Each structure stands twice: as C-alpha cells, then as structure tokens.
C-alpha cells in the first residue's frame, strides 16, 4: 500500500475515534477514568456516582455529565442492580481497542516513513 493510501486509512481511523479522543482529552474525565481503574480492584461490579463524587471532588451532576460523555463515547459501561447504577471500564466492548489500533498504526506509519527517508 502506498503512502497516500495509508494516510487515507489513518484519517478514516482517526475519524472513527474522534468521540473517544474528545472524551479522554478532558482532564476531569481522565480523573474519572483513573477513579474507575482504582475502583475496579475494590468493587467487582463497578463504582456508583456517589463514590466517584468523593474520589474526584466533583458535584453529582458534574460526575453524571462526564459519565454520560464517557458512556456515549463507548469507553465505559454501566450495570444496574435494582435502583443502583454501577459504572466500570468496559475494556472488552469499548472503543479502547480502536484507539490502540489507531496509535499502533500511526506508530507503524512513522516507523516506515522514517525508514524510507533515512539515507
């Protein structure tokens, strides 16, 4: 595949990841993701909004807003147990693998391009 076609593919992959990239680009959402990662070791089913407010020092509405953005970006999952909602990183079904593939492909492209341009 030539360079132009590879760039076109990278652009398409980048476009497919825009929502996830935007979601993780926010420092507040990054802190929520880190809290979810920390919480995974403590609670198997996930973390409730109240626990996230305590861990992030954000208001309940702010946490709920950011969780919605992360959920809409297909980065986290939610399970319901009665009236309680638990949020967790959904590694298997999330777009995290799309992001990984995008970054891997960018890395390969850069590596190949550097090899081509080396004397």
pLDDT tens-digit series, residues 76-86: 999 999 999 99
Residue 35: per-residue pLDDT: 92
| Dist CA 70 CA 76 (whole Å) | 6
Q: In this model, does residue 2 exceed pLDDT 90?
A: no
Compute how many other C-beta atoms are within 10 angstroms of the C-beta atom of residue 47.
24
Residues 5-44: tens digit of each pLDDT: 999 999 999 999 999 999 999 999 999 999 998 876 566 6
Q: What is the pTM for the complete model shown? A: 0.82
| CA proximity to 66, closest of 30, 97, 101 | 30
DSSP class per residue in 74-88:
TSEEEEEETTEEEEE
Longest dimension (CA), the chain: 65
């Amino acid at each position: 595949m030539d360079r132009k076609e590879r760039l076109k593919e990278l652009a398409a992959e980048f476009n497919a990841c825009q929502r996830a990239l935007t979601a993780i680009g926010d420092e507040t959402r990054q802190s929520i993701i880190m809290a979810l990662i920390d919480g995974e070791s403590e609670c198997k089913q996930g973390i409730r909004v109240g626990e996230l407010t305590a861990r992030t020092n954000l208001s309940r509405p702010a946490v709920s807003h950011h969780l919605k953005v992360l959920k809409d970006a297909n980065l986290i999952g939610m399970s319901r147990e009665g009236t309680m909602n638990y949020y967790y990183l959904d590694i298997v079904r999330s777009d995290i693998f799309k992001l990984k593939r995008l970054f891997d492909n960018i890395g390969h492209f850069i590596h190949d391009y550097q090899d081509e341009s080396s004397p």
